[in-house]
A and B are shown apart, each in its own frame.
Chain A
Amino acid sequence: MADRKIRILLAKPGLDGHDRGARVLARTFRDAGFEVIYTGCHQTPEQIVGAAIQEDVDMVGLSCLSGAHRYLFPAVAQQLQEQGADDITVVGGGIIPEQDMQPLYDAGLKALFTPGATLDSIVDWINENIKPRD
């Protein structure tokens, strides 16, 4: 019986190891009925994009708390584009100052979640905006 399930890759690009949020989200997504591939800390954009494509995910969630999001998030979005995979939605989370947001949206990120975003609000956003691709 055909049954499309939402698949999500959760990754921590860059060198920061503050993975509390990512790990809590991994469990939250499982409990919301998604299939989650968590790739752990210290990933390069290349590794994340390679994994996202091989896993045929619908969404890539990036978490970064080091301030390097300005380079790392667009790098992931851009490389997905270059590999013809811009149908994979990219979202980000972490300490993202207001003035960094527009450039990140311009680079192709679809949503940004900052401190204080509730788990339910993130799950709701996914349910509303991410459809398994046909």
Chain B
Amino acid sequence: MEELGKRAMAGDIRAASRLIRNIEDDIPETTKAIKHIFPYTGKAHVVGITGSPGAGKSTITDQLIFTMRQREKTVGVLAVDPTSPFTGGALLGDRIRMLRHAEDKGVFVRSLATRGAMGGLSKAVGDGIHVLDVMGKDIILVETVGVGQQEVDIINHAHTVIVVLVPGMGDEVQAIKAGLMEIADIFVINKADKDGARKLYKETLNMLNSGNFPNGWRPPILMLESSLEPHSFAASVEKLCDKIDEHYKHLVERHQLKERAIRKVITEMNDALRAAILEPVLSELAATGEFDFMVEKLLSKETDPYSLAEEISKKYLNK
């Protein structure tokens, strides 16, 4: 398994894609590969793209790939789509917008299904970013699900978060509710040719005007032309690319990269602890049948969840 990590680092695409698959499928030995590559991570600029479904995230991602390639940067993409809660299957449809890069060796695109994870991402995103990072990708674009749930987890993984809004979808209200306004480093108003784009711009501006920006970065608002007008769309994505670069420069110059890094490692530590401590306990309880027994006891009010938890932590953590 460590071998996979080495090969991914050497640029072996099959190894990298296999490694991400193992992360997704939660194959235990995968941690060996991650351990191997971890020291080499942290070089790429991770950019999150979030916003409601139909906002045009994949089309923007596609054009961002194109622009970044023109600027001679290599690009990795993780595109997350929802898993059906009923069948466990998933239709991963983001990639279709990015197919023109399929033959470009400087681009690696991977679709991920949420597989039950909340927060708009897949559990594999954190380590997936590491893999793309050690493959040497300069920029990693992470596209979130966009189902309008609390999609704020992206802030724990990205240096720069782009929030995409479209007129006429009640996005402004939705975005505020979902906490997206707090996590945005750049606002994009897509389909700016649509009625209501000016209004949405003003509302976003008003909201920004009442905010304060302790980090010294006031999120800019960019209007993107419709992708059906390819030339003006390309020009407006050029500007978005400039802003992304500018934001990264800001993080570097103001020594704020560390803050983002701290957030990421704390998230990873939490996840790893959960995987190392909680999950084995849960699976043992399930395997011995104890878990079902506990459920019965709770139902009959013989005990309560807190007492049970204390009992278990005494047993497993020697507390």
Contacts and interface: CB of A to CB of B under 8 A. Distances in A.
A120 interface: no
B102 A3 contact: no
A56 B90 contact: no
B93 interface: yes
Q: For A31, A37, A132, which residue has the most chain B Cβ atoms within 10 angstroms?
A: A37
Interface stretch (A22-30, A61-69, A95-103): A22-30
Interface string B100-138: 001100001111010100000000000000000000000
Contacts, number: 94
B294 interface: no
B89 interface: yes
A7 B83 CA distance: 12
B110 A30 contact: no
Contact of A34 (B18, B89, B93): B89
A35 B113 CA distance: 8
Contact of B89 (A4, A33, A48, A54): A33
B289 interface: no
Interface residues of B, number: 33
Interface residues of A, number: 35
A53 interface: yes
Nearest to A26: B91
Interface of B: 13-14, 17-18, 20-21, 24-28, 83-84, 87-93, 95-96, 99, 102-103, 108-111, 113, 115, 279, 283
21 contacts: A2-B25, A3-B115, A5-B24, A5-B115, A32-B87, A33-B88, A35-B83, A35-B111, A35-B113, A39-B96, A43-B99, A44-B103, A48-B102, A50-B102, A53-B17, A54-B102, A54-B108, A54-B109, A55-B111, A56-B14, A56-B21
User: Which 5 pairs, one residue from A and one from B, show the smallest C-beta to C-beta distance?
Assistant: A47-B102, A30-B89, A56-B17, A50-B102, A56-B21
Interface of A: 1-5, 7, 26-27, 29-40, 43-44, 46-48, 50-51, 53-56, 83-85, 132
